[in-house]
Amino acid sequence: MRKYFFAGLSLVLALALLVIAYGAYLNERGESQISLRMEERRAELVGAKAVRRELHPQVKFSAVNLYSTSVADAVALTDGRIVAAYTAANAYVHQGDVLFRLENENIALSIQEAEAGIMSANAELARATNNYDRYSKLLQIDAVSSQQYDEAQAAYLAAQANLKAAVAKRDMLLVSQARCEVRAPIDGIVRILYRQPGTYVPSGTSLALIGNYNELYFSQQVSDAKAQRLQAGEEGEFIFPGKEFKELENVAGEAATEQAFHAVLAEIAPPLHEPAAARTLLWQIDNPLGLLTPQTYGTAYLRLGVKAEVLCIPLAALTDKTRQAVFVYRDGLLERRAVTTGRDDGDYVEILGGLEPGDIVIISGAENLQDGMKAAVELRGEQDGR
């Protein structure tokens, strides 16, 4: 029995060893096949050549803060109650136009008192004048003393001074009354009415905002390298999506189309001849129809007016947001290559370094590619595969 037991045990062990050996063989064979398949795998991709082409540079902004240099408040110059408004929101006004009229009862009462004081001073001056003239004639015939004449003359001069003071007081009050008229400080459109008739306002209160928005401004900070490629006076277009102009929707409710506005690079600060790591560009935007207002807008594009022939590739070839790498196809293999990019027009980007004309870059599926991978590439716009 023992003999059969050990014989069976040996057989079981032999079978186990055989199974293990066969499993190892299959595993090794599977890895070899996977490795072979990986080596033979060829990605099917689309590519495009780096070529020199005419580029119309375009810059995208996630936010554009527009402001005006011609904005001013119409301010009350005296205390009073608004009794009349001669303008309305969105009305165009000229500098000096009367916008509001205030009423100050204290000023009106003081003017009446001043007028009464002038009448009294005139009457006193008339009496002093007659008395002075009479004493002048009597002095010539020695009918009065010099002291009496001097007293009459002094009374006459005092009456003149009192009248002059009364008139000056009245005139000052009239100036205050004139300040009850609130006038437009500049030419422009009434953007906001802060107060309405019936409101009592103290001196210095802003009653309306007047703005001339025919020209708006936007500033951006760029590196010196980018600024050196521009010059003051350069023209372009600011383009805003139609969603920013809801008031332009038609009666059918269709969205407004994008709007383009002529722009000029008004200033580069500091000037290009002065050393600086960064510079501020000041853009002046023409706004003759008043569609834009001083506020922050969402997405906008600046399209420069000057075109340039430069080495370009499609923007889709850039592998990440840093815009510093592409996959280049050469001799059946892919190579991840660092590049230096410049301006773009929304479809193509300028290449300043890292590529030569004719280099093929991958423009689809770059997310899963690896350096050294085999590939089959079809050029965009061409039928011959590579």
In this predicted model, what pLDDT tens digit does every residue of 151-177 receive, in sequence order? Answer: 888 888 988 888 888 788 777 766 666
Give yes or no for a contact between 377 and 335, defined as CB atoms under 8 angstroms apart: no
Task: Give the chain's mean pLDDT.
Answer: 82
Element (H, E) at 133: helix 105-140
Give yes or no for a contact between 355 and 327, defined as CB atoms under 8 angstroms apart: no
Q: Which residues of 233-249 are buried (b: 16+ CB within 10 A; e: fewer)?
A: ebebbbbbbeebbeeee
Residue 68 has what pLDDT? 92
Average pLDDT over residues 88-98: 92
* Continuous H helices in 41-93: none
160: tokens are 């003149």
Residue 100: exposure state from Cβ atoms within 10 A (0-12, 13-18, ≥19): buried
Average pLDDT over residues 66-70: 92
Residue type, 317: A
Residue 251 has pLDDT above 50, yes or no: no
Residue 287 has what pLDDT? 92
Out of 4-8, 284-288, 316-320, least confident range:
4-8
Residue 99 has what pLDDT? 94
177: tokens are 């009354």
Sheet holding 98-103: strands in order across?
A: 181-183, 98-103, 80-85, 200-201
More confident residue, 39 or 173: 173
Which domains are seen in the chain, by residue range? 43-56+309-379 (2.40.420.20), 61-69+215-306 (2.40.30.170), 79-209 (1.10.287.470)
In this predicted model, what pLDDT tens digit does every residue of 345-363 receive, in sequence order? Answer: 888 999 999 999 999 999 8
Q: How far apart are CA 312 and CA 54, in angstroms?
A: 9
| Positive or negative torsion for Cα 371, 384, 364, 313 | positive
Does pTM top 0.75 for this prediction? no
More confident residue, 364 or 40: 364
Residue 11 has what pLDDT? 64
Residue 338 has what pLDDT? 92
Residue 15 has what pLDDT? 66
In this predicted model, what pLDDT tens digit does every residue of 186-209 receive, in sequence order? Answer: 999 998 999 999 999 998 999 999
Residue 38 has what pLDDT? 46
* Secondary structure of residue 188 in the 3-state scheme: strand
Element (H, E) at 335: strand 333-338
Distances (CA, A) of 238 to 63, 118, 131, 284: 12, 65, 82, 10
Q: How far apart are the two ends of the chain, measured CA to CA in Å? A: 74
277's CB contacts (< 8 A; 6+ apart) are 223, 224
* Continuous H helices in the chain: 2-40, 105-140, 146-178, 224-227
Confidence of residue 141 (pLDDT cuts 50, 70, 90): confident
The C-alpha angle 233, 234, 237, rounded to 5 degrees, equals: 120
41: tokens are 């795998």
Confidence of residue 95 (pLDDT cuts 50, 70, 90): very high
Q: How far apart are CA 320 and CA 342, in angstroms?
A: 15
CA nearest to 59, candidates 178, 227, 192, 179? 227
What's the length of the chain? 386
296: tokens are 């922050």
Sheet holding 333-338: strands in order across?
A: 333-338, 325-330, 360-362, 43-49, 375-379
Q: How far apart are CA 271 and CA 231, in angstroms?
A: 10
Please give the share of the chain, as a percent, with pLDDT higher than 90: 30
Q: How far apart are CA 366 and CA 336, in angstroms?
A: 10
Residue 384 has pLDDT above 80, yes or no: no
In this predicted model, what pLDDT tens digit does every residue of 272-289 receive, in sequence order? Answer: 999 999 999 999 999 988
Confidence of residue 85 (pLDDT cuts 50, 70, 90): very high
Q: How far apart are CA 43 and CA 170, in angstroms?
A: 96
